[in-house]
Structures are given as C-alpha cells and as structure tokens.
Amino acid sequence: MPQSPQPITPAGAPTVRAAVQGLADRFAAAGIAEPTVDAELLIAHVLHISRGAVQAAVVRGDELTDADAAALEPLAIRRAAREPLQHITGLAPFRHLELRVGPGVFVPRPETEIVAQIAIDALLSAAGPEPVAVDLGTGSGAIALALATEVPHARVYAAENSADAFSWTRENFDRVGASNARLSCVDLAHAFPELDGTVSVVVSNPPYVPDDAVPRDPEVRLHDPEAALYGGPDGLDVVRAVSLTALRLAHPGGTLVIEHGEWQGQAIRDLLTADGWRAAATHPDLTLRDRVTTAVRP
C-alpha cells in the first residue's frame, strides 16, 4: 500500500522551518526540480507574504499556526502530484509583473524573459516618438505587457486566438492597466491589417515543440494547453505563419523576435532568410541554450 504523506510539521514543532523542510522532502521525492523553492513559495502563498519573508521566518524560528498548516496540506498534495505551482497560486512572475494564470493558458517561463528583453531593446532603439510593437500569440500577455510597461512611449498590440487563454489575457491586461496596450482575439494570420507596414518590432513565443516530442515534465505535458506547445511535425508550422504575418506588419528595418527550442535556430534562420528576412541571428538564454532568433525586414 502507498504510504500516506508526512504531515506538514512534525508533532510538537509547528514551525515555518519544519514546514519548509517537510514540504521540500515531499517535493523532492515527487521529482520536483527545486523542492525548497516551491516549498517556500507555497508557504508564502498561504501566509500572504513574500518568499523572502518566509526565509526570514525560518531564521527567526516563527511558528506556523494550525490553521495555516491545515490550509497548506491540500495545496501540498496538489503540488506533489505535479500540478504546476502557478496553477495552485494562480500567479506567475514575469520580469517585474505578476500575471494571473491557470488551466487553458501557457504558464510564462523565466527563459522567455530574455525574449522580452531583446524585443524591448529593439523597441527602445526604434526611431520615432511612438514606435509600434506586435506580440503574436500573446498567451498570458507576458511579453506584450512587459513591452508596454517598460517602453511606455510605444504602442503595443497583442493577438491571441484561444478562447480559453484569452480570458486570462484579458484579466492580465485589465490588472496591469497599461494604457498603451491593445488586445485582440484574432488568429495571427489575420492580425492587425491596419498596422501593415508600420510596426517596428514583431515578437512571438509560438508553439514550437514537434508533435512527437512529448515533454517530460508532467507540469508541461499534462497541464499546458496543447495548442500552445505543439507546432507540427518539425515544430515550425506556427513559426512559418509568424514569419509571413510579420513581413506584412513590419516596416523596412523592423525587427522580428521569435522564441524557439534550443536545436531549432539553424532551421529558423534558414526559414526566415528564404522568406526574405535579412540578418537572421540566434541568441542564447541565460542557461546558454539557443532560445531566440531575430531578423530584420529589408
């Protein structure tokens, strides 16, 4: 018979330190990559404090109330079953933003922050007092809202065609309240014809996993929407559509920024060059894996 999970805290020691250690042990046994981080974040969620405040509580030897331990236990069970932490807390950090996420929308990843940075840098260097950026397949709105808030003199347009994802996107746009950001529920191939030839930066984190390359992590395989993961036999079907739409939208000298898998850089550079883009180049993320390819509209 399977063993019952250990309680959040051992009897007689209801401390935050014991809770962190107990959760970390359970999460490590479940195969979670950063069990202590997830334990601290889950406790922070229950206590309505920051992760840093949880770490400080550990140092001080603060106690965990019985009510807090009781509230923590069902969430710990869900996380040990490999439900994404962001689905449990309902929030995902992205750069300086905190975004609402849940079933139906792709959870933004830390590696996408470098994609946003490259797009932000290109937008900041664009000529004109009010440059335009477009995020194709915005999902949670992470990239678009980062651009809108970090380049406030720009106009940012975001397209998302999944009804399930769009409800989360709409909520995040409303929460952030960036007056220079516009959101549309539209297929990327037909996005924003009124902007044709005027856009300085087109950015996209499209689905790029090949259909037969099933992700190993249960958090991705079982919980991220398939439409946000799989991109056809070679993973590049949506990338091809992004390239053509971006050619329509971008003005001469405009920049295209595309996220992709670490082995896809050469294929995407070839694809973009064949479509007529110039200066295609692939850039690594902070783990030194190829993550983003850029190109310039001739």
Q: Is the pLDDT of residue 96 over 90?
A: yes
Q: What is the per-residue pLDDT for 126?
A: 96
Q: How confident is the model at residue 9 (pLDDT cuts 50, 70, 90)?
A: very low
- Characterize the bridge pairing of strands 181-184 and 97-100: unpaired
For residues 32 and 52, the answer to whether their CB atoms sit within 8 Å is no
Q: How confident is the model at residue 2 (pLDDT cuts 50, 70, 90)?
A: very low
Q: Is the pLDDT of residue 53 over 80?
A: yes
Q: What is the per-residue pLDDT for 215?
A: 87
Q: How confident is the model at residue 6 (pLDDT cuts 50, 70, 90)?
A: low
For residues 84 and 74, the answer to whether their CB atoms sit within 8 Å is no
Q: Is the pLDDT of residue 4 over 70?
A: no
Indicate the average pLDDT of the chain.
94
Q: What is the per-residue pLDDT for 286?
A: 87
- CATH homologous superfamily of domain 92-296? Vaccinia Virus protein VP39 (3.40.50.150)
Q: Is the pLDDT of residue 216 over 90?
A: no
Q: Is the pLDDT of residue 130 over 80?
A: yes
Residue range 157-180, pLDDT digits in tens? 999 999 999 999 999 999 999 999
Q: Give residue for tokens 């000298």.
A: 253
Share of the chain above pLDDT 90, in %: 88
What is the C-alpha to C-alpha distance for residues 135 and 159, in angstroms, rounded to an integer?
Answer: 6
